[in-house]
Amino acid sequence: MKKRILYIGNDLQVNSFTVTYISFFSKMLRKEGYKVRTASTRNNKALRLAEMLGLIAKYKNSTDIVLIDTYGAMNFYYAYLAGKTCKMFNLEYIPILHGGNLPDRLENSQKFSQSLFRGSKANIAPSKFLYDIFQSYGFKNTQVIPNAIRTDKYPFLQRKEFRPKLLWVRRFQERYNPLMALKVLLKLKQIYPRASLCMVGPEKDGTMISCKKLAKKYDLDVRFTGKLKKKHWAELSKNYDFFINTTSIDNTPISVIEAMSLGLAIISTDVGGMPMLINNNEDGILVPEEDESAMVNAISKIVEDPSKGERLCLNAREKVESFDWNNIKDQWNEVLN
């Protein structure tokens, strides 16, 4: 008999764009035959936390295991309190590790980290990057299960030429360094006057306003779409040839995996777990953090030599097949049973 699961995370389906993929993952688990409840859909943080903890208490007798999306920022404390509540009711729980800033949390919140991660049935890391760090802190109950996507939802478009048309998909938040994308475009425009950029994602901390001011100041060709459902930005991607990831902190972002599936040439900073997701000059190009000139150089080389971009994209699509849900689900079935 399949386990009964309570999945704790930010199930903000009304916002449609969120770093967690609880909506996708819970749907896939249900297709595998698991009974899955999710929490929370509340926008208000206090109400969200209350609902998360309240549902653990409410369904303690009809839940076999609790999945907890775990991040390194303030939401870390949601995960900690959810773990404590699970222990109170003798429920098994599994933190699913997200966010490139979790290593800082391990260092700066050691007491909370010990309580949450040592008491779990398992800690699931989406990459060897976080796995290695958790192992170094003594959390031997950590294992790797990659983030999954449905590759059929992100169909590969083979490009024979690469125009200086850039796509950026993330929340507008300082840690993801959206201003770097504008600075890249500014430098790229000096080489290719018709270079353009599309930025997809919601405002988080005021950086979208800064980006819009910079775009207006230098008359840059930038489109700000705001939040888009994944299927909509996947369709939008047909109009662009490069996916730029400008982040200062990262793990193995699903947006990059999706872009690899779509056939976009990936140019990313080499922070966090990115070198474990992208093999430099094989299925994407990695550049130093904050190095706009290196990113511009990488883009221009592909524009001038499309065969290089074609090779990178074909290799990326081949790699991303391993992230398809059909290739990941057995690993989840094993850990849940």
- Distance between CA atoms of residues 115 and 137, nearest Å: 13
Look up residue 239 and give its DSSP letter.
Answer: G
Counting every residue written for the chain, the total comes to 337
Look up residue 123 and give its DSSP letter.
Answer: E
φ, ψ of residue 152 to 5 degrees: the values are -70, -20
- Distance between CA atoms of residues 79 and 82, nearest Å: 5
φ, ψ of residue 138 to 5 degrees: the values are 90, 10
Q: What tens digit of pLDDT does each residue of 78-136 get?
A: 999 999 999 999 999 999 998 788 999 999 999 999 999 999 999 999 999 999 999 99
What does pTM read for this prediction? 0.91
Spatial contact of 229 and 198, defined as CB atoms under 8 Å apart: no
User: May I ask the CATH architecture of the domain 4-145?
Assistant: 3-Layer(aba) Sandwich (3.40)
The CATH H-level superfamily of 151-322 is Glycogen Phosphorylase B; (3.40.50.2000)
The domain segmentation of the chain, as residue ranges, is 4-145, 151-322
List the chain pLDDT tens, one digit each, 337 residues: 789 999 998 765 544 444 457 888 999 999 999 999 998 888 788 998 999 999 999 999 999 999 999 998 888 999 999 999 999 999 999 999 987 889 999 999 999 999 999 999 999 999 999 999 999 999 999 999 999 999 999 999 999 999 999 999 999 999 999 999 999 999 999 999 999 999 999 998 999 999 999 999 999 999 999 999 888 999 999 999 999 999 998 888 999 999 999 999 999 999 999 999 999 999 999 999 999 999 999 999 999 999 999 999 999 999 999 999 999 999 999 999 8
Instruction: Provide CB contacts within 8 A for 313, sequence distance 6+.
Output: 158, 159, 260, 263, 264, 265
For residue 35, what are its two tokens? 């009974």
Spatial contact of 191 and 300, defined as CB atoms under 8 Å apart: yes
- Distance between CA atoms of residues 12 and 56, nearest Å: 18
